[in-house]
Structure 1
């Protein structure tokens, strides 16, 4: 008796069901394993880590993320330090949930209180770079001052004499800032 061939749709369906089952099994297995945690500040490289069980002197302990600047307001807010080139996302209890460094433009906002006045998903920055997660906070010296990140995650190119008000973050921090800063979110700029 001749062997009966299966139609191609049956093979494709069988392979799809098998692949889906394998992915589900791997996802279930991964969900029971250890989960990485995000750090507000990158730690030392793996080669610099002490061996397991090694004693670390007190001066060698990680100091953690920089503390919120004095006089940076209260409640839920975004804090931007001009001098430290750093942003803190602060929850309603006054605790910083994330902090990161930024690349400021050539035009800084004055220290004081602001709020997010406009949000734009993506556009071309005044320096010609494609940016996203644009959150405007003020206009200074005829220049819009806004937080953003480059679509490709790169730091901004040199200003070459341009007046630029963009405060750029890396891609992950820009996404976190976008998720945190709705319209009217309080922004405090400190020296």
Structure 2
């Protein structure tokens, strides 16, 4: 083969056959990719769980809050928690014997606070009483050192009952039940709750409504 034959240009028809349209090549690649994605989607759909993640997820139980002593604390997000019906009107302290709980209710009949309580060994009758006296610190009838005493009772026994707190306990720790065989009309609260009652019932004759 001569040198002229080796360097001879290719025919125009041959050039056309060897060239590939760039647009067509991109279209083919895109189509192939879409087909691959479709296949993967079908495979994934065939192996996917029937339930959506939100439905299949196990609902976690809320963790109960506790105080410093490890005792459970009632939730306080809803201040109207269990407010007994027919417990009076206006500013008052409501005390439920069956629930061992108090509520501080303002002049607008809205609950300002609710707290768990430890009943005394002397139980008041369901009735309306009046606050008569306040004692910063002292000794209760069962011998316990208490503070933030808000005393209440009837006209004949105005200091027979009271709300108070054990002086030696941390601010948010619930007190224990009075010792067996002792007599006290003190309704025990945490230090924080007793102080709140002390600040709330600052006016003599503030009603204390006791319900069953």
* TM-score tier after normalising by the smaller chain length: 0.5 to 0.7
Number of paired residues? 133
Shift of 1:78: 0.4
Aligned counterparts of 2:99 and 2:201: Cα–Cα separation in 1: 20
Root-mean-square deviation (Å) = 2.5
Aligned counterparts of 2:88 and 2:78: Cα–Cα separation in 1: 21
Shift of 1:175: 0.6
Deviation digits for residues 59-97 of structure 1 (CA, Å, limit 9, x no counterpart) = xxx983523101100001100000000000001110111
Q: TM-score under structure 1 normalisation?
A: 0.63
Query: Residue 173 of structure 1 corresponds to which residue in structure 2?
Result: 193
* 2:167 is the counterpart of 1:151: yes
Q: TM-score under structure 2 normalisation?
A: 0.57
Query: Residue 64 of structure 1 corresponds to which residue in structure 2?
Result: 78
Which runs of at least 4 in structure 1 moved beyond 4 Å after TM superposition? none
Deviation digits for residues 4-54 of structure 1 (CA, Å, limit 9, x no counterpart) = xxxxxxxxxxxxxxxxxxxxxxxxxxxxxxxxxxxxxxx8449xxxxxxxx
Aligned counterparts of 1:103 and 1:89: Cα–Cα separation in 2: 16
Structure 2 unaligned blocks of 5 or more:
1-62, 67-75
Q: Report which of the two structures shows the higher radius of gyration computed on alpha carbons.
A: 2
The secondary structure found in structure 2 opposite 1:107 is coil
Structure 1 unaligned blocks of 5 or more:
1-42, 47-61
The equivalent position to 1:74 in structure 2, one of 89, 111, 114, is: 89
Contact 2:119 2:177 in 1 (8 A): no
Query: Residue 207 of structure 2 corresponds to which residue in structure 1?
Result: 186
The secondary structure found in structure 2 opposite 1:116 is strand
Contact 2:92 2:206 in 1 (8 A): yes
The secondary structure found in structure 1 opposite 2:160 is strand
